[in-house]
Structure 1
Amino acid sequence: MYKRILVPTDFSKNALNAVRYALDLYAKLNCEFYFLNVFKLENYTTDSLIMPEPGSAEYEAAKAKSEENFVRLLDMLALHHDNPKHIYHTTSTFNFLTEALKQMISEKDIDLVVMGTKGASLTKGVIFGSNTVNTMEKITECPVLAIPQDTHFSTPKEIVFSTDYKSDFKRKELSYLIEIAKMHGAAVRVLHVSKKQILTAEQEKNKVLLSHIFEQIDHSFHTLSEKKVANGITAFVESRESDMIAFINHKHFFFASIFSRPLVKEIGYDATVPILALR
């Protein structure tokens, strides 16, 4: 059975880096990769009441340019990523990125979205561009893996899974994390960042449940006493040179509290490891 992975691209260096990372991460599995380009029209804005029609000169020219870029991308992949386990598909469309992603996820039964991250205008201290933030917050149908700019693939040996133990865990929602760990022999380090060292009875129960779910992979539990969750995760990842961060995106406030732009600027954290947002 083929795993179906959706990779949006604007054909930038940053997007190409995400493509390469995805291909290398899943090199051992049979996969269908769906590359999606949401092309733009120079004379069209979202404020315009006139929607560009397929068949118009401007629309067809933009679509043709997108398709030409895909030809170049596939030629490059044929030279450097010739993997018989992988099948490639391309789609060029005019749409809002989130809507295009949701449509593809539904139509192709996508398992995972992988995308590059880029700060707004490469602003120092801003890890994620608006497209990545919107995608990680609004795509709830499947996990999203965000690859920071200039992060080249190396076999992940340690994945940090951040949790507060406040919600029940389900094997299904952790399946992608476990799959990656098994594929690459990676250890999962469960990290709880909190000012309170003592867990409630409910948290203890969920911690035991998590231990059972992770029983087939190398894992350990860690606690940091830190006022700010982001500071704790950052310090832990940097001190151990971990390869990936994962968390279950139950509520938007948790995602925002860790990766919002003001907080990222405050702690000066330059993301160097991929972030896996599970559902």
Structure 2
Amino acid sequence: MDKRILVPTDFSKNALNAVRYALDLYARLNCEFYFLNVFRANSYTTDSLLIPEPGSAAYEKAKNKSEEGFIKLMGMLEVHLDNPKHSYHTISTFNDLSEAMRQTIAQKDIDLVVMGTRGATADREIIFGGNTVNAMEKIRECPVMAIPPDFSFSPPKEIVFPTNYKTTFKRKELSYLVEIARLHEATIRVLYVTKKPDLNEAQQANKKLLADIFETVEHSFHTLSDKKVSDGLTAFVESRNSDMIAFINHKHFFFGSVFSRPLVKEIGYEAIVPILALH
């Protein structure tokens, strides 16, 4: 069965980088890629009740600009698009980005979303563009992967999986992580950052379950003590030159503790590796 991957784009350099990463990451699998661009009419604002209708001059001008953007994008990707295992589709739509993504995920049965961490209006003080943060937190139907600016693809060999072992794991929610690890023969490093390294009975059971789920891939368990989760994760990834971070986003708990905007300056974490948010 083909894997269906959605890649939203605003035709920025960072979005192009995310497209290339997705194409390379899944180069060996049969995939359908859906490239999505949400366009706006210059005369339209969110405060206006006058939404351009299809066929109106403002609507058609914005749509044509989006379609021209796709022609340029496909031209820039020409070297990447000769993979016989891949097929490609472009979608131009007048919509809110989150709503457009949700509709596409539902209509096309999307398996994975891949986005750049910054768009055309990059703010260097924010780790992820607001759209990417919103997608990683709000989209629950499939995993979301965020690719940092200027990150050049190389097959991931080490994926860091932070956890507190407090949740019972399910094979289904970790299937994408296991698939990527198997596809690229990567090792999964399970990281527990805590001031109390001893595990209670429930945590020990969850750790054993995790070991069973990861039995088909190389994996190891690591503990860092006396550090905040954000600091420990950052130090671990940077010291080992890890290639990816994957985590299960249980509603708001773990994601907010590491990647929420108020902590950006405190943790000083520039996203230097792709991040996979599982649900």
TM-score by length of 1: 0.97
Amino acid at match of 2:58: E
Separation of aligned partners in 1, 2:34 and 2:149 = 21
**Compared with structure 1, are the counterparts of its residues 41 and 171 closer, same or farther at alpha carbon in structure 2 (3 Å cutoff)?**
same
Q: What CA distance in whole angstroms lies between the structure 1 residues aligned with 2:261 and 2:229?
A: 15
Alignment partner, residue 117 of structure 2: 117
Question: C-alpha deviations, 1:173-208, integer Å up to 9, x for none?
Answer: 000000000010000000011111111111110000
For 2:85, the equivalent position in structure 1 comes to 85
Deviations 1:242-273 (A, max 9, x none): 00000000121321110012212112111110
RMSD: 1.3
Aligned to 1:189: 189
Q: Which residue of 1 aligns with 2:97?
A: 97
C-alpha separation in 1, matches of 2:93 and 2:6: 14
Equivalent-residue separation in structure 1 for 2:96 and 2:221 (angstroms): 41
Are residues 81 and 176 of structure 1, via their aligned partners in 2, closer, same or farther at CA, if it must alter by over 3 Å? same
Aligned counterparts of 1:3 and 1:161: Cα–Cα separation in 2: 23
Q: Does residue 278 of structure 1 match 2:278?
A: yes
Residue 192 of structure 1: SS of its match in structure 2? strand
Aligned pairs for 1:10-89 (under 5 A) are 10-89=10-89
2-side partners of 1:102 and 1:220: how far apart? 35
- Determine helix, strand or coil for the equivalent of 2:18: helix
For the residue of structure 2 that corresponds to 1:245, the secondary structure is strand
- Give structure 1 regions of 4+ aligned residues with deviation exceeding 6 angstroms: none
Question: What TM-score, normalized to structure 2?
Answer: 0.97
CA separation in 2, counterparts of 1:31 and 1:103? 19
Look up the match of 1:145.
Answer: 145
Q: Would the aligned equivalents of 1:117 and 1:147 in 2 still touch at CA under 8 Å?
A: yes
- Quote the residue 2:268 is aligned against: 268
Q: Percent identity?
A: 72
How far is the alpha carbon of 1:77 from its aligned partner?
A: 2.2
Alpha-carbon distance in structure 2 between the residues aligned to 1:194 and 1:120? 38
Which position in structure 2 is the counterpart of 1:4? 4
Q: CA deviation at 1:50?
A: 1.7
Deviates more, 1:47-56 or 1:151-160: 47-56
The structural deviation recorded for 1:121 is 4.7
**How many Å separate the matches in 1 of 2:226 and 2:33?**
40
**Residue in 1 that maps onto 2:127:** 127
More deviation in 116-125 or 161-170? 116-125
Q: What secondary structure does 2:35 align onto?
A: strand
Post-superposition offset of 1:68: 1.2
Please give the per-residue CA displacement for 1:84-112, whole angstroms capped at 9, x wherever unaligned: 11000000001111100000000000000
- For 2:70 and 2:90, how far apart are their aligned partners in 1? 7
> Does residue 1:222 correspond to 2:222, yes or no?
yes
Find the aligned partners of 1:180 and 1:31 in 2 and give their Cα distance. 14
Partner secondary structure for residue 27 of structure 1 = coil
CA distance in structure 1 between the aligned counterparts of 2:199 and 2:79, rounded to whole angstroms = 53
The number of residues matched between the two structures is 279
Q: Matched residue of 1:4: which SS? A: strand
Q: How does 1:230-269 map to 2 (within 5 A)?
A: 230-269=230-269
Structure 1, unpaired ranges of 5+: none
Counterpart of 1:164?
A: 164
**Structure 1 residues 114 and 263: alpha-carbon distance in aligned structure 2, compared to 1, 3 A threshold:** same
* 1:152-189: CA deviation from partner (whole Å, max 9, x where unpaired): 10110000001111111111100000000001000000
CA distance in 1, matches of 2:76, 2:122: 26
Deviates more, 1:64-73 or 1:238-247: 64-73
